[in-house]
């Protein structure tokens, strides 16, 4: 990774022989992070250091009793508590790592990687970097031969993301992921300066107002490229969908959300669990048409009043005037 500001400092050193998968094998060693889980499912992430002790409500656990062993064992604390010891998976790491901004949760990160069709060697743009949770998933998907250009407006968030990404990928001291370029700045202002038109395969927008970036994203994407927006509220969802639709050179936006529910399975007692991962955010995807081309208009008519006098957002091109209320000329954008 190289971190850039508008002054563009020299890139950081690299480690060509480092495995950038974020996966470690073999015996546990000092400096590695492990995940401890007790009998009630309570979790602790700790960094192994020779000679140290991790204290819990069930007594202490010696780091030296973990160092040198293969992961996947049970360790007993000084007061008899039992703890599973594994290296954390990416999905476990991101929900417990230090945060600046809120993280993109694993269920949404998985949807983004799959539905945006992120592939090895792809050139992906991300805004914003937040705490680096989605960044880790995107870097793993594009691999060392790909390229991830992340934009983050807030310098303190960028610093948190950089630390978390370094930790997950086990980067050597002073070395960052070779596929990552982190720019502290606004996507709209910096994207055209750093990326040539029509060279970006995928764009992921995890930000407050992604509709403000649609023109810049359209300029950067290759024909057939995909934009995916991640937003929290229905108001944001409506605005980004309608802005993509009104742009005219994207396919019909596809909005959705995912809900994850666990199940209790114990003999004949098979039922839904009492907990679930409910609403975390909405996702929207659309594909870039070739320059100057537009997608066929929807055949289904909008619902009555959908673009009526109370609606003041972006409007699809060619909208039937009878759908916008009694005085369409008085409505901005009609």
**Looking at residues 266-277, what average pLDDT do you find?**
92
pLDDT average, residue stretch 217-234:
97
Helix ranges restricted to H, the chain: 90-96, 106-115, 133-142, 155-169, 187-194, 214-220, 234-247
Confidence of residue 52 (pLDDT cuts 50, 70, 90): very high
SS3 169: helix
Instruction: Indicate the pLDDT class of residue 93, thresholds 50, 70 and 90.
Output: very high
Distances (CA, A) of 106 to 94, 101, 128, 324, 333: 8, 15, 17, 40, 38
Q: What tokens does 96 get?
A: 């417990």
**pLDDT tens-digit series, residues 276-314:** 888 999 999 999 999 999 888 777 778 877 888 888 888
Q: 200: exposed, middle or buried (C-beta count within 10 Å: 0-12, 13-18, 19+)?
A: buried
What's the pLDDT score for residue 76?
96
CA distance 254 to 263: 29
3-state secondary structure of 163: helix
How far apart, in whole angstroms, are the C-alpha atoms of residue 255 and residue 216?
21
In 3D space, the residue among 279, 272, 160 whose CA is nearest the CA of residue 231 turns out to be 279
Q: What percent of the chain has pLDDT over 70?
A: 91
Q: Which pLDDT score, from 0 to 100, does residue 332 have? A: 43
- In this prediction, residues 313-332 reach a mean pLDDT of 63
Q: What is the pLDDT of residues 53-75, one digit of tens each?
A: 999 989 999 999 999 999 999 99
Helices 133-142/106-115 angle, 10° precision: 30
Averaged over 122-144, what is the pLDDT? 95
* pTM (predicted TM-score): 0.87
Specify the long-range contacts of residues 71-77, CB closer than 8 Å, at least 24 apart: 71/28, 71/34, 75/36
Average confidence (pLDDT) over 78-103: 92
Tell me phi and psi for residue 327, to 5 degrees: -135, 70
Residues 227 and 334: their CA atoms lie apart, in Å, by: 26
pLDDT in tens, 24-48: 999 999 999 999 999 998 999 999 9
């Amino acid at each position: 990774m190289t971190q850039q500001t508008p002054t563009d400092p020299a890139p950081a050193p690299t480690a060509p022989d480092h495995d950038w998968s974020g996966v470690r094998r073999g015996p546990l060693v000092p400096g590695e992070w492990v995940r401890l889980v007790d009998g009630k499912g309570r979790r602790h992430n700790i960094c192994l250091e020779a000679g140290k002790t991790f204290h819990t409500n069930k007594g202490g656990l010696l780091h030296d009793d973990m160092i040198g062993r293969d992961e996947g064992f049970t360790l007993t604390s000084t007061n008899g508590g039992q703890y599973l010891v594994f290296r954390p998976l990416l999905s476990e790491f991101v929900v417990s790592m230090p945060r600046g901004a809120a993280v993109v949760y694993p269920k949404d990160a998985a949807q983004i990687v799959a539905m945006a069709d992120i592939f090895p060697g792809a050139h992906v743009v991300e805004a914003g970097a937040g705490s680096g949770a989605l960044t880790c998933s995107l870097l793993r998907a594009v691999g060392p031969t790909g390229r991830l250009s992340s934009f983050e407006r807030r310098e303190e968030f960028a610093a948190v993301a950089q630390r978390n990404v370094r930790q997950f990928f086990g980067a050597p001291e002073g070395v960052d992921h070779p596929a990552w370029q982190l720019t502290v700045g606004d996507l709209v202002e910096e994207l055209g300066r750093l990326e040539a038109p029509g060279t970006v395969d995928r764009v992921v927008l995890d930000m407050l107002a992604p509709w403000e970036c649609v023109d810049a994203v359209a300029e950067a994407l290759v024909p057939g490229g995909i934009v995916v927006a991640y937003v929290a509220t229905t108001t944001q969802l409506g605005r980004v969908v309608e802005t993509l639709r009104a742009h005219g050179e994207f396919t019909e936006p596809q909005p959705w959300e995912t809900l994850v529910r666990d199940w209790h399975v114990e003999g004949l007692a098979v039922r839904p669990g009492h907990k679930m991962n409910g609403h975390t955010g909405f996702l929207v995807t659309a594909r870039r048409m070739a320059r100057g081309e537009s997608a066929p208009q929807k055949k289904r008519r909008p619902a009555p009043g959908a673009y009526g006098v109370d609606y003041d957002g972006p409007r699809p091109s060619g909208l039937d005037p009878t759908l916008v209320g009694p005085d369409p000329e008085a409505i901005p954008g009609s």
